[in-house]
Structure 1
């Protein structure tokens, strides 16, 4: 499946087409109120589509602490020197000025489901009729012995866009010649299944040009990973001898770190490292737990509209949701947001609700113009979001096809960020 910008935006528009109808909720306080927490691929998209397609019938508030959003997707290309940091940054100004969304830069710290309010760190309380949570991921405490969030400056995770990505890039650039970079890879399930391995590719791309005798070690608790054959083919071709992956058969699941010593212990073998990139186990963002809509890890949702199993007026998108077969990716969150926006708008205004359809593609760059991808289409069933069909790049593809795949990913990035931020 070849993607272009017009197809991406056009499909989004078709999925969210509306038929105007009288307002059916919110009469006691004027317009119905939607509050969206989290301004990433899920939250920003949902806020924009509800505001745009309701044509002023719904009051939309977007709560996001950062004034400039840096995407986690494509951040690996910044590490590899393919993109600049500014390439990843996006403003919320258009959502406010052109779509009338009330953008509140603050932290959401609690949800009162009975009163239907969201508490902010600044002390304010924001009422809602429908609440959409898209807070991304947080980390499971103790998932990597020796590491907690207070160690993220010494051993960055860089699995949330922004300053952590800058920090990891600076550490890689400061590595001594012949130094060692160690990644502690996360257990399933986690954000962006091919993400750690694209990161390895992009770190290797940088080191090959600037520090060619450096070594990369991956301590991996998983037996296999997304696009494994494609990545390993690429590593052997582009970075021979540089990358070593230690899987569970060789102790990769038994890993701990010492922040004070900058060491990684892999099943009893202690490795002194110059850069340690710890990507811990993951769970839903904290606000989903505060709203009591999770099972302790993720938020179970209904496939037809992304509403939570715990509360029909709260919806969870993207990484934080437990929805079935879709991977935790920016594309998935964006796709889920359009389905959710259509359903929420229908519930609040009586507009037509279309059957839920979802899609996802995950692109990865292995080396200059060597792009690969995996993706699928999905439908809503009673039990889950279920995969209908899928596709994946093949080993041995010619250079022209791999370059076209990378160029397709560039088109997608432009299209999704326009879809998110207007």
Structure 2
């Protein structure tokens, strides 16, 4: 098989194929987790930690270094360096005994209960957790596909795309034009595009104050709209123009060769174009036959797939109800799923599911805002039971405290994910 020990972290196993970890398990139930982000890493850690060695846990994740999408906008804005968003899987292996396989999961045989790997071979499971994040809907932005991401980056999967977009912004000519093609609902991190606009404006205000920012937006409204528009008016007066669907924002095409954006017949010559396409569940979900439309329907009591009782799906890939697609949501859902999986495999106690989410956004220096809610499952969906949001007109001390709260949350969630 193509898989070798360099693909594994931890456990000290020398193997020629994939049978060795399963022999090592000595009959323990096997959980495989696909995707090492806020959902998958958290689920793997909690199952390994709370089962006290009773469950054999394998985490499949192609990247050796994980860059968080949350807070990547702050890197674009100059408030964090890239390394502060980078994390590895060493402690999951060394401290929790998780078999970390750095490879792509390419398919799921639900009858045989195996996950196929791009490097060859397959990994068997008793329960499977999928947390693959998003992929993009082909053709959702006319003129753009993944072959154009090196010219018109999406930067909606963090890492090299984020560094590319930041470099393009900093290299804009004096008085140049930045265009964002915003995504339709639903998509990862509802406030994310608008926090990004704030961070781009922050950079341009300092480096290129006569530059212009245009948003082509297919949505009538967006998350925290009043807060963002108040902040843009206060900090970046005259720099940002949003073109909504009433003015053609939903009828947009791009030409990567000429760096042009056509918004309802008006052609704009741009210096930087950030295309954020329509989104769908990560491709492994479709390959496993779990999707309904673009997303995976799940039972909100446990995050189990409504199509396979042995597979749980987390985070951005799901259609679960009222929770937004966010890192906080995925982390919250992972803990519920981990508890359900442990209960199914070891008979441990399972408590009623409860979920929470908060999304923080930075508008300018020390000007942070947030929105969030608590959730509980019904038979139909995960439903919001209470919510909160920052208010327009808040004083500077409140906004600074909100930003500082977000910094503490980042440290907390990444520790919760990676140990």
Task: Give the TM interval when normalised to the shorter protein.
Answer: over 0.9
SS at match of 2:304: coil
Q: Secondary structure at the match of 1:44?
A: helix
For 1:77, the equivalent position in structure 2 comes to: 74
Instruction: Give the aligned partner of residue 315 of structure 2.
Output: 318
* Residue 308 of structure 2 is aligned to residue 306 of structure 1: no
Q: Is the counterpart of residue 419 in structure 1 residue 386 in structure 2?
A: no
Instruction: Determine the structure 1 residue equivalent to 2:58.
Output: 61
Contact 1:288–1:299 (Cα < 8 Å) also in 2 = yes
Equivalent residue runs for 1:240-319 within 5 Å: 240-319=237-316
Aligned partner (choices 135, 153, 156) of residue 156 of structure 1: 153
CA contact (8 A) 1:144 1:256 kept: yes
Aligned-partner SS, 1:376: strand
Q: Distance in 2 between matches of 1:124 and 1:214?
A: 52
Q: 2:176 aligns with which of 156, 176, 179?
A: 179
8 Å contact kept, 1:379–1:386: yes
TM-score, length-scaled by structure 1: 0.93
Aligned equivalents of 2:142 and 2:38: distance in 1? 31
TM-score by length of 2: 0.94
Contact 1:183 1:279 in 2 (8 A): yes
CA contact (8 A) 1:134 1:318 kept: yes
Q: Distance in 2 between matches of 1:161 and 1:45?
A: 18
Correspondence for 2:222? 225
C-alpha offsets along residues 110-146 of structure 1, whole Å, 9 cap, x if unaligned?
0000000000000020000000000000000000000
Query: Matches of 1:163 and 1:289 in 2, distance apart?
Result: 26
After superposition, the CA RMSD in angstroms is 1.0
In structure 2, the gaps of 5 or more residues are 1-22
Q: How far has the Cα of 1:29 moved from its partner?
A: 6.2
TM-superposition CA deviations, 1:16-53 (whole Å, max 9, x none): xxxxxxxxxx9x96000000000000000000000000
Counterparts of 1:335-354 in structure 2, within 5 Å, are 335-354=332-351
Cα distance in 1, alignment partners of residues 147 and 255 from structure 2: 13
Specify which of 84, 88, 99 is matched with residue 96 of structure 2.
99
Structure 2 equivalent of residue 129 of structure 1: 126
Aligned-pair CA distance for 1:161: 1.1
- How many residues align? The count is 396
Partner residue in 2 for 1:17:
none
Match of 1:332 in 2: 329
Residues of 1 paired with 2:139 and 2:292: CA distance?
18
Aligned to 1:369: 366
> Structure 1 runs of 4+ off > 2 angstroms?
none
C-alpha displacement at 1:296, in angstroms? 2.9
User: For 1:301, what is the secondary structure of its paired residue?
Assistant: strand
Q: Which residue of 2 aligns with 1:194?
A: 191
- 1:104-119 matches, within 5 Å, as 104-119=101-116
Contact 1:289 1:296 (C-alpha < 8 Å) held by counterparts: no
C-alpha distance in 2, partners of 1:389/1:222? 25
Q: CA deviation at 1:94?
A: 0.2
Higher relative contact order (CA 8 A, sep 6+): 1
Match of 1:384 in 2: 381
Q: How does 1:22-61 map to 2 (within 5 A)?
A: 30-61=27-58
Q: Is residue 137 of structure 2 the alignment partner of residue 140 of structure 1?
A: yes
State the partner residue of 1:166.
Answer: 163
CA–CA distance in structure 1, aligned partners of residues 121 and 410 of structure 2: 35
The C-alpha deviation readout for 1:350-369, integer Å capped at 9, x for no partner, is 00001000000000000000
Secondary structure at the counterpart of residue 96 of structure 2 = coil
